[in-house]
Amino acid sequence: MKKEAENIEQFPAHVRQYVIPSYEGDVVYECIGCGETFHLDQFLYTCPKCASLLRLQDRAFDELKKIDGPTWREIFDYRRMLRLEPLKGIFLFKEILFPTIPLADIIYLGEGHTPLVRANAGLSGLAGMEFFVKNDGQNPSASFKDRGMASAISFINYSIRKRGITELLGICASTGDTSAAAALYLSYLDKNIVRSVVLLPKGKVTPQQLAQPLGSGATVIEVPGVFDDCMRIVEQLAERYQVCLLNSKNPIRIMGQKSYAYEVAQQLGYDTGDLTVVVPVGNAGNVTAIMEGFLDLYRLSIIPQLPQIVAVQSRHANPVAAWHASGRYEPMKVRSSVAQAAMIGDPVSFPKVQKLVAGHFREQFSAIDISEQEVIEGMLEANRRGHVVCTQGGESIAGLAKAVKIGLIAKNRTVVVDSTSHQLKFSNFQQMYFENSFPPEYQITPKPELVNKPVQLEASADAIAGFLKLKEKQ
Ligand code: F0G
């Protein structure tokens, strides 16, 4: 490797000593139910004692408090100037992200540090206030899942070396994006050791999403049903067989996804006192990770206070919004949704959300739901104004508009809306809108002014100029 940075000697001394991370922490699995802890020398997804979800906990975290908040900010900001590959992505925040993994084992495929794009006047007008879109579609497999997969696959890479693993089968259930990310990252590892398998609900992922794991060489298994059915199957497989589960139920995924929160803070100059983050929710791994990430920053005084979190769901798959409205959680049967990647009736990470809200976020957390029509038009309106957001991004933007309307988000706040994947993954829904071909269960009626179709003309400048009513040059 080349020199870490041309100018590292010029970094301030109090930053220079920390800028290349050496802290390893004391990370263990911790059960969110009974509190029991387990060593990281195994792959665990639920508590062997009480079957509750696990999270990863750094028992040495308080050591990090020896460095004050302003110094941490400088460390992370100066670190961006390093030329160290493993720290180029989400591991820029290694000490708080997942300190256990040595730099040499980190897999970096270009994930993270996605742009924060200011909405223009037209789109802000529709939402009722100014805001930013953080476009996580600009990740290697075109969704935020790459954040969690970078931490998971780096940990697997480390475990293979450390534990001398000779055979590993990585598996996940997916609505399309987890599978794309898992297949991509697993394909980077040694094929003699690692196999990659994804389980998809047949006909319920888009053609682009299906093409991704196929292209990465994964074994793609399609089964009848919806995501929740696939999830139950991989949960059983993970319980009974030696497979490595790559869904966000695996807390090594959540570690990487915390980077979304760290980046938002860094991009706003850590000035997050009036921040609101709007997030689409499906299996609830993302919203969990975002809350955990902000909590890390808050505990180290890197940010002044926790942000407001607004979770958004389609009414066709709204168990979290229904819980927030009624105080009771009930798994539900989902209906067809254009926010298909979030079409989940019994989110696996819901107990984590419940705990984070009760313990830390309280009234700073809310969850709302919107119609299918609002979701798709959120996407179309944004993309007509300089964005490349997916239907789940559309869900966030339409959710923001509703939240502003009902007074949930004050107009003087700084708002970041999460667009979780790329427009192109969901172009089939755009097409269905333009062709007015949605089956009735979507309850979507296209507005003529939002429809766009190609025009067929003969191959002549005159015909095209005539059609466009062009004025001749003087
Ligand atoms: N947006 C996109 C583009 C997604 O792919 C997902 C989830 C979500 C939002 C919801 O995030 O599940 O963490 O609450 N996709 C998963 C998958 C379920 O299999 O790709 P979540």
Radius of gyration of the chain (CA): 23
Q: Which atom of ligand 1 is nearest to the CA of 180?
A: 20
Please tell me the distance between residue 300's alpha carbon and the centre of ligand 1 in angstroms: 29
Please tell me the distance between residue 58's alpha carbon and the centre of ligand 1 in angstroms: 26
* Residues near 186 by beta carbon (within 8 Å), at least 6 away in sequence: 153, 170, 194, 196, 216, 218, 246
d(CA 99, CA 106): 11
112-134 per-position pLDDT tens digit: 999 999 999 999 999 999 999 99
Our answer on whether the CB atom of 47 is closer than 6 Å to any ligand 1 atom is no
Provide the pLDDT confidence category of residue 371 given band limits of 50, 70 and 90: very high
Our answer on whether the CB atom of 86 is closer than 6 Å to any ligand 1 atom is no
| Residue to mutate, 138, 147, 178, ligand 1, most ligand atoms under 8 Å from C-beta | 178
CA distance between the termini of the chain:
61
Give the H or E element holding residue 309: strand 308-314
d(CA 410, CA 468): 44
Mean pLDDT of the chain: 97
Query: How do strand 27-31 and strand 54-58 relate by DSSP bridges?
Result: antiparallel
Q: In what order do the strands lie in the sheet with 168-173?
A: 219-223, 194-201, 168-173, 244-245
Q: Which atom of ligand 1 is nearest to the CA of 177?
A: 20
Provide the pLDDT confidence category of residue 435 given band limits of 50, 70 and 90: very high
d(CA 236, CA 399): 35
Q: Which atom of ligand 1 is nearest to the CA of 284?
A: 14
Q: Which atom of ligand 1 is nearest to the CA of 282?
A: 14
Residue ID of nearest Cα to ligand 1 atom 19: 174
Our answer on whether the CB atom of 172 is closer than 6 Å to any ligand 1 atom is no
Our answer on whether the CB atom of 390 is closer than 6 Å to any ligand 1 atom is yes
Residue 96, pLDDT > 90, answer: yes
**How confident is the model at residue 316, as a pLDDT?**
98
196-210 per-position pLDDT tens digit: 999 999 999 999 999
Provide the pLDDT confidence category of residue 6 given band limits of 50, 70 and 90: low
Neighbours of 166 (CB within 10 A): 9
Residue 310, pLDDT > 80, answer: yes
Our answer on whether the CB atom of 419 is closer than 6 Å to any ligand 1 atom is no
Please tell me the distance between residue 422's alpha carbon and the centre of ligand 1 in angstroms: 12
Residue carrying structure tokens 């387990």? 38
Closest CA to 130 of 459, 452, 460, 411: 411
**How confident is the model at residue 118, as a pLDDT?**
98
Our answer on whether the CB atom of 341 is closer than 6 Å to any ligand 1 atom is yes
**How confident is the model at residue 7, as a pLDDT?**
81
Contact (CB, 8 A) for 111 and 184: no
Contact (CB, 8 A) for 221 and 197: yes
Our answer on whether the CB atom of 337 is closer than 6 Å to any ligand 1 atom is no
Our answer on whether the CB atom of 46 is closer than 6 Å to any ligand 1 atom is no
168-179 per-position pLDDT tens digit: 999 999 999 999
Contact (CB, 8 A) for 175 and 344: yes
Contact (CB, 8 A) for 95 and 324: no
| Residue to mutate, 144, 279, 417, ligand 1, most ligand atoms under 8 Å from C-beta | 144
Contact (CB, 8 A) for 90 and 147: yes
- Element counts in the chain: helices (H) and strands (E): 17, 13
Which pair of tokens denotes residue 269? 């100059």
Please tell me the distance between residue 420's alpha carbon and the centre of ligand 1 in angstroms: 8
d(CA 277, CA 264): 9
* Residues near 291 by beta carbon (within 8 Å), at least 6 away in sequence: 261, 309, 353, 356, 357, 360, 361, 365
d(CA 199, CA 173): 5
Q: Which atom of ligand 1 is nearest to the CA of 283?
A: 12
Q: Which atom of ligand 1 is nearest to the CA of 392?
A: 1
Neighbours of 103 (CB within 10 A): 16
Provide the pLDDT confidence category of residue 2 given band limits of 50, 70 and 90: low
* Residues near 413 by beta carbon (within 8 Å), at least 6 away in sequence: 129, 274, 275, 276, 308
Our answer on whether the CB atom of 389 is closer than 6 Å to any ligand 1 atom is no
d(CA 84, CA 5): 8
Please tell me the distance between residue 341's alpha carbon and the centre of ligand 1 in angstroms: 5
Q: What is the dihedral of CA 172, 173, 175, 177, to 10 degrees?
A: 0
Our answer on whether the CB atom of 177 is closer than 6 Å to any ligand 1 atom is yes
* Residues near 116 by beta carbon (within 8 Å), at least 6 away in sequence: 132, 133, 134, 264, 267, 268, 416
Whole-number percent of the chain with pLDDT over 70: 99
Provide the pLDDT confidence category of residue 3 given band limits of 50, 70 and 90: low
**319 Rama class: left (phi>0) / alpha (psi -120 to 50) / beta:** alpha
pTM of the model: 0.97
Q: How far is CA 236 from CA 159, 221, 287, 362, in A?
A: 23, 16, 25, 33
Which pair of tokens denotes residue 266? 């860094």
Please tell me the distance between residue 172's alpha carbon and the centre of ligand 1 in angstroms: 13
**How confident is the model at residue 4, as a pLDDT?**
67
Our answer on whether the CB atom of 373 is closer than 6 Å to any ligand 1 atom is no
**How confident is the model at residue 165, as a pLDDT?**
97
Please tell me the distance between residue 282's alpha carbon and the centre of ligand 1 in angstroms: 6
- Which SS3 state, helix, strand or coil, does residue 421 take? strand
Give the H or E element holding residue 76: helix 69-79
**How confident is the model at residue 107, as a pLDDT?**
98
Our answer on whether the CB atom of 257 is closer than 6 Å to any ligand 1 atom is no
Our answer on whether the CB atom of 143 is closer than 6 Å to any ligand 1 atom is yes
d(CA 171, CA 328): 32
* DSSP state at residue 278: E
